[in-house]
Structure 1
Amino acid sequence: MKFDILDVISTADKKREIPVTTEMSEVSVSGGRFPITDIKPFSICLTNDNNKQLLISGDTTLDVVVPCDRCLSDVDVTLRIAIDRKVMLADGHVQFAEDEENTFLEEHELDVDRLIYDEILVNWPTKVLCKDDCKGICPVCGQNLNQQDCGCDRQVIDPRMAKFQDIFNEFKEV
């Protein structure tokens, strides 16, 4: 969803609130696609600070379905999105520093979906677990160990130590 913000950029000390609903239905992160189940409508506040900078602010929450990192069960994750950006203005135009990446502003159009997406990337959790003591899946048969134990032998022997294991098994006292 894009908005024309030329009136805010070109008028000193102008403030404008834009009610926003996003058109995003999923988010792509690290090669995966995750469905957005809920996003709260919110407002973006644009403020021209004495023709020197454009202040962009707003906050909302959104719910995303992400698989558990251990057992792959679906987990509902709530992300708090807090937008607080400052963009420099010069002669009624947006100015970005050379090292600053602009993905959400083009001339005088604000791309709200891209702005939200950038904030999702920053706030994305590093590890998602269905519960703190998630047991994961069996590496042998793939059974979800939170649901039931499969009985597989999951002992992993270091191949460099396998000969020692053979010696212990050969001379084992009965």
Structure 2
Amino acid sequence: MILDLHDIISTADKSMEVSVLPEKEFFVSAAGSFPISSKKPFLLRLFNDDNKRLRITGSTEVELTIPCDRCLEEVKVPVAIHIEREAELSDGVLVPDPDEETDTFLQGEQLDVDRLIDDEILVNWPTKVLCREDCKGICPKCGQNLNQRDCGCDRQVLDPRMAKFQDVFKEYKEV
């Protein structure tokens, strides 16, 4: 969703509150495309601080469907979004800051709300997604989800430097 900021940028000390529902159905990143299964209205506050700074604040929550890192089952993960951004103004015109990455969501006098939310989802991305703490994952040999049932494969991983000892133990086991 694109918001026109002309009125707020051109008037000193003007503030505006907008409630918008994010339009995106998927969050797309280098890691893949993830469905947004639930989204709440986004309360966005804009404030022109004496024609010097445009302050953007807001909060919302979205729920993404992300595969479990161990078993690949889909997990609904809530992501809280809290935004506090600023952009420099000069005589009622947005001034791009080369050190800031505001150019991803601010273009001219327009604010791309979906891009702003995407940036925050990326920053708040969970480091590890598990369907449950004791997730057993999948069998590396046959691919069976070990949370559903045991496959019976021999999953013992031995250090190749100790392979000779395994042969010796097998030999004595038979006796």
Alpha carbons of structure 1 residues 173 and 143: separation in structure 2 relative to 1, 3 Å: closer
Q: CA separation in 1, counterparts of 2:139 and 2:173?
A: 29
Match of 1:124 in 2: 125
Q: CA separation in 2, counterparts of 1:73 and 1:147?
A: 11
After superposition, give the CA deviation of every residue in 1:7-29 in whole Å (9 maximum; x if it has no partner): 11111100011221121000113
Please state if 1:112 is matched with 2:113: yes
TM-score (norm 2): 0.93
Identity within the alignment, %: 60
1:156 maps to a residue whose letter is: V
Confirm or deny: 8 A CA contact 2:141 2:155 kept in the other structure. yes
Q: CA deviation at 1:173?
A: 7.0
Matches within 5 A, 1:1-174: 1-101=1-101, 102-170=103-171, 174=175
Count of residues in Structure 1 that have an aligned counterpart in Structure 2: 174
Confirm or deny: 8 A CA contact 2:18 2:43 kept in the other structure. yes
Q: CA separation in 1, counterparts of 2:130 and 2:88?
A: 40
Q: CA deviation at 1:171?
A: 5.1
Give the gaps of 5 or more residues in structure 1.
none
Give the gaps of 5 or more residues in structure 2.
none
Q: CA deviation at 1:31?
A: 2.9
Q: CA separation in 2, counterparts of 1:162 and 1:82?
A: 54
1:136 maps to a residue whose letter is: G
Does the residue aligned with 2:104 lie in a helix, a strand or coil?
A: coil
> Which stretch shifts more, 3-12 or 161-170?
161-170
Q: CA deviation at 1:113?
A: 0.6
Q: CA separation in 1, counterparts of 2:150 and 2:170?
A: 27
1:43 maps to a residue whose letter is: L
Does the residue aligned with 1:47 lie in a helix, a strand or coil?
A: strand
After superposition, give the CA deviation of every residue in 1:93-148 in whole Å (9 maximum; x if it has no partner): 21232222220001100000100110110111010000011111111111111111
TM-score (norm 1): 0.93
2:162 maps to a residue whose letter is: M
Q: CA deviation at 1:84?
A: 1.0
Q: CA deviation at 1:91?
A: 1.8
